[in-house]
Amino acid sequence: MVDSVRFRLRTSCCISVSLAIRLQLLLSVSWEDWWTYEGISGPAFWGLINPEWSMCNRGRRQSPINIEPSQLLFDPNLRPLHIDKNAVAGYLSNMGQGLIFTVDNSSKPSINLTGGPLSYKYEWHQMALHFGLNNQSGSEHMIAGRAFPAELQVFGFNTQLYSTYSEALESPHGIVALSVLIQIGDASLQTTEFRLLMEHITKIERPGLLQPGQERPMPALSLKMLLPPTDYYITYEGSATTPACQETSTWIVFNRPLYITEQQLYALRGLKRGSPNPNHNQIKSSSFSSPSLSVTGDPMGNNYRPIQPTHHRPVRTNIDFTSSERGEKACATMHRDMHYRGEFSFEIAKTFFAVFFSSRTHSVHK
């Protein structure tokens, strides 16, 4: 009996020492260098391991969210979003956790975003691509519980209040985040600039061209020509979807998708993520991490944060969905009836999805 107790005590002590050693090792490595989308460095632990990222677990205005059509509020005061037409050069970076396009600061004139739900002027700074390892997941935002194979996110910062993206990321009304969900489709449905972007991305999956922690220049891109039409959208107040999950972002999710081919998705899934390696040069990025990475051999895909609770946040739209069969509003109006009336029927849901994800009726920039 005594020996059994001693054995258990020794075992418990060894386990405690082992855990303490592992924790010390984890804390000795910068979490900014190697947060991931799974395991002990994944989303469930972002706000627990690093106190500076506590908003990832404690925040109540987090992103991404599941957009429920029945809960949308129609706001007739929401204007179309305006994006400058000029093009800017930048850099494609394999950040280990994801693929990032960062605008070259020396590229002038800058691209500004105004209108829509925005009260300030924002300057395009960065773009991120999230995608899955299968066709049923990959996007961060969902529509009525439905995920999409990929999602393109565009980030700008408030230049009327802040001098840099990093400052804006930590400050009220600092960031605008545009989201475009991506469907599988024919290349003929792609915008010209998205096709150009994918041509560069599909080349970098070949070994040696863009390993984790490396970057390569890209020719000038026009954000306006890259995106689908930007007149109609949903919008809500949320956060960054990567650590430190700052709640400073106004999100705009467009009602038209971009299209990606099966071949392009296959190439994306060939990209590799990284792990910390002090022998590699660092890349400085203000949204994702700035890792010193070596190739792990693991695929980069499934780089999306799980859905976060809305906590009664209003999610607004400037699309006035109406069922032609029943004449009912598919979403409440903010200026007439503040409460949704009538059941959100399957027919209204089909109308909603027909508007959001019709592959044949939206215009494509040529």
pLDDT at position 363 is 38
What pLDDT is attached to residue 186?
94
* CA-based radius of gyration for the chain: 22
- pLDDT number for residue 94: 81
Per-residue pLDDT tens for 127-174? 999 999 999 999 999 999 999 999 999 999 999 999 999 999 999 999
pLDDT at 326: 45
Predicted confidence at residue 336, as pLDDT, reads: 37
End-to-end alpha carbon distance in the chain: 81
Strand stretches in the chain, DSSP E:
66-67, 73-74, 81-83, 87-94, 99-103, 112-115, 122-131, 142-143, 150-158, 175-184, 215-222, 233-238, 249-254, 258-260, 272-276, 293-299, 316-317, 332-333
Which CA distances in Å does 90 have to 111, 180, 207, 235, 255? 12, 20, 22, 27, 27
Q: So what's the pLDDT on residue 97?
A: 85
> Exactly one of 37, 120, 122, 162 is catalytic; which is it?
162
Question: What does the pLDDT read at residue 1?
Answer: 56
| Residue 54: per-residue pLDDT | 97
Handedness of CA 171, 172, 176, 182 (dihedral sign): positive
277 phi, psi to nearest 5 deg: -145, 105
Would you state the pLDDT for residue 298? Answer: 79
Structure tokens at 88: 């800017």
> What's the rounded Cα separation, in Å, for the pair 180 and 112?
18
**By percentage, how much of the chain surpasses pLDDT 90?**
58
Interatomic CA distance for residues 258 and 237, integer angstroms:
23
Spatial contact of 340 and 304, defined as CB atoms under 8 Å apart = no
Looking at residue 315, its pLDDT comes to: 98
Instruction: Sort 49 into a burial class: Cβ within 10 Å, 0-12 / 13-18 / 19+.
Output: middle
Pairing of strands 73-74, 316-317: parallel
Give me the pLDDT at residue 299, please: 84
d(CA 61, CA 24): 32
- For the chain, the average pLDDT equals 80
DSSP secondary structure of 247-313: S-EEEEEESS-EEE-HHHHHHHTT-EEEEE-TTSPP---SSS----EEEEEEE-----PPP---TT-
Retrieve residue 171's tokens. 């400050």
Token reading at 344: 């959100």
Annotated catalytic, 37? no
pLDDT < 70 stretches in the chain: 1-33, 204-214, 274-297, 322-366
- Print burial letters for 303-323: b (CB count within 10 Å at least 16), e (below 16): bbbebbebeeeebbbbbebeb
